[in-house]
Chain A
Amino acid sequence: MLYAIETEGITKRFDDITAVNKISISVKPGELFGLLGPNGAGKTTLISMLSTITEPTSGSAKVWGFDVEKDSSQVRENIGMVFQDTTLDDRLTGRENLDMHGRLYGLDGKTRKKRIEEVLALVELTERADSIVKTYSGGMMRRLEIARGLMHHPHVLFLDEPTLGLDPQTRNHIWEYIKVLNKVEGVTIVLTTHYMEEADHLCNRIAIIDHGDIVALDTPEALKDGLGGDVIILQLENPDDKSKLCDIYEKNGCAKIVSKQNGEVFITVKDGEHQIPHVLSLASNAGISILAVSLRKPTLDDVFLHHTGRAIRDRGASEIEQVGFKIRSRRK
């Protein structure tokens, strides 16, 4: 088998909204593949189709060689899924949750016992295994869900926003687990995220998704290199000069324009430190006054900005996180 996942023009429409628009991707076995995009970009819908929860409107997809529509139960046998919101039974203990999962996936008693210890050790929850899940912290719950997703030795593991709503320390921990299980268990991982650092830190390849379309797909390095060097951000005194300044740089050929918004111009240049004086003198020669200038290595933020003209904002995300927590913490 050449690909762990292969989609061909897979599409999902809800009434008049196209959530996923003719996406074709292939993921190699053992790869750690990221779907990066803002909330509502279609990431979750895409993995819902790949994990047989949602049926595609058109197009097709194969997961581990099985068609998601025709052989949905074989697909299910071969995948593990960690959803955005918790799907644990919080009245049961961690161990009972894992045991239940093992039973549903047809593992016999001996295998279950052995595997439960393995996955608990992997996410370092052995000591708390016999506590009721209700008493777990958010990070522990997420770890338990990841452990559960691995119980039945899936070939492909889907992680939907694996660190959404977690504090930075816990996030770092989860990242380490994800890396380890990709290496140690050799499982192909597809994760969705709207955190740039997460995608950058973890993924072998990243597909940037916006409005249901893939706008860029490559390794994080290649995506950033594609911008053409270091990022220089120029803050203009008069925002109306933006287009004029961009024209000058384009004509001169010294820099690539990433974007222009709110009185700021993002450009990329090779060897930024040495190019700053040149860039500034071009501006002053044209009589455009610059208030501030900064230089940095390109990030995936810049890549997203370049391809979509917008930044991925976390404002919407924090709202969603709060709602998520409310739902989770509401008592039964």
Chain B
Amino acid sequence: MKKAINRALQTVYTMWLREMLRFWRSKSRIIGSIATPLFFLVFLGAGFSSSFQVEGGKAFDPSYLAPGLIGMVVLFSSMMGGVSIIWDREFGFLKEILIAPVSRFFVALGKAVGGVTTSVIQGILILIIARLMGIEYDSFSGVLAAIVIMFVSGIGFIGLGIAVASRIDSHEGFQMVMSFLTMPLVLLSGAFFPISKLPAWMTVLVYANPLTYGVEALRYFLLGESIIPISRSIIILLAFALAMTILGGKLFGKMKV
């Protein structure tokens, strides 16, 4: 029994280690992936605050965008991390893992934990850069809590990515997933606008979107404000993470090479 647990941990750690090594070797990709949200923050923030007013006649505060953009980065890089299984398959490495005498579930879990670590690192980078740009956070403990939220939502999206990747055959399909899944998820999450006064049809979609709860929770912990109660956001995020881990692990287990 102890041996089996050791083996499982070793599998998870090995897969995590691999993601870390690859992450470290692809610095240009990291810069690219955090550049996009920073452009959003700077240009969208400046554009919004010079043209739009929020309720009560005050100017739009760019710091409103920060939690949404962190959520976006976590979503993008987590989905990417999950879907990278397609690359592993296409370039053969997946065979090496799948023929090893280890449980596929722990392989998937290790991949997920590794991918989430890289997402959280990118999220933290945005957090720091935004702070340097003058965005103020509520409290330090709030920042720590926000990092936990990044982790939990990351696990959910990476599970989703793995589940999707296990079902699509080619990297062409990957492009489809990215445009039909990630973009709507971001736009329907309240990352860029408050979700309290949306038309009814859109409200339904927004509340069905797991990223909404991630962004709301981040906004709560970083800026001290949220529309959805924090306890509800946390419960939904945890449930999403758990469900996606099970789904991703299951579909990965059935994946053919």
Contact = CB atoms under 8 A, between A and B. Distances in A.
Contact of A100 (B17, B25, B94, B98): B17
Interface stretch (B7-15, B130-138, B190-198): B7-15
B21 A81 contact: no
A51 B21 CA distance: 29
B93 interface: yes
Contacts of A96: 21
B92 A104 contact: no
B43 interface: no
Given A53-B257, A96-B21, A106 B87 contact: no
B101 interface: yes
A219 interface: no
B14 A76 contact: no
B101 A73 contact: yes
Nearest to B99: A81
B234 to A, nearest CB: 35
A91 B102 contact: no
B167 interface: no
B99 A103 contact: no
Contacts of B91: 86, 90, 327, 332
Nearest to B102: A104
B205 to A, nearest CB: 34
A91 B25 CA distance: 7
B100 interface: yes
A106 B18 CA distance: 16
A91 B10 contact: no
A314 B92 CA distance: 24
B79 to A, nearest CB: 17
Contacts of B7: 106
B97 interface: yes
B231 interface: no
Given A96-B21, A103-B14, A89 B95 contact: no
B3 to A, nearest CB: 8
A101 interface: yes
Given A83-B92, A83-B95, A106-B7, A92 B21 contact: yes
Nearest to A90: B91
A53 B257 CA distance: 8
Most A C-beta atoms less than 10 A away, residue of B6, B17, B94, B96? B96
A327 B92 CA distance: 10
Size category, B interface = 20 to 34
Interface in A314-332: 327, 332
A327 B18 CA distance: 22
Interface string A51-83: 111000000000000000000011011000101
Contacts of A91: 21-22, 25-26
B18 A86 contact: no
Given A91-B26, A92-B18, A96-B21, A105 B101 contact: yes
Given A91-B26, A92-B21, A96-B21, A105 B100 contact: yes
Nearest to A81: B99
Interface in B203-223: none
A282 interface: no
A117 interface: no
Contacts of A101: 96, 100
B18 A87 contact: no
Chain B CB within 10 Å, residue with most, of A52, A83, A103: A103
A305 interface: no
A88 interface: yes
B92 A100 contact: no
Contacts of A89: 18, 22, 93, 96
Contacts of B94: 87
A68 B9 CA distance: 26
B18 to A, nearest CB: 6
Nearest to A84: B92
B21 A87 contact: no
B92 A85 contact: yes
Contacts of B96: 87-89, 101, 148
Contacts of B10: 103-104, 106
Nearest to A104: B100
Nearest to B7: A106
B101 A77 contact: yes
Looking at B10, B26, B90, B92, the one whose CB has the most chain A CB atoms below 10 A away is B92
A51 B90 CA distance: 20
A306 to B, nearest CB: 36
B17 A76 contact: no
Given A87-B93, A88-B96, A103-B17, 17 more contacts: A53-B98, A53-B257, A76-B99, A76-B100, A85-B92, A86-B91, A87-B95, A88-B93, A100-B18, A101-B96, A103-B11, A103-B14, A104-B100, A105-B101, A106-B6, A106-B101, A327-B90
6 contacts: A53-B257, A73-B101, A87-B93, A91-B26, A100-B18, A103-B13
Q: Which 7 A-B pairs have the closest CB atoms?
A: A87-B92, A76-B101, A104-B100, A103-B14, A87-B96, A87-B95, A77-B101
Interface of A: 51-53, 73-74, 76-77, 81, 83, 85-92, 96, 100-101, 103-106, 132, 148, 327, 332
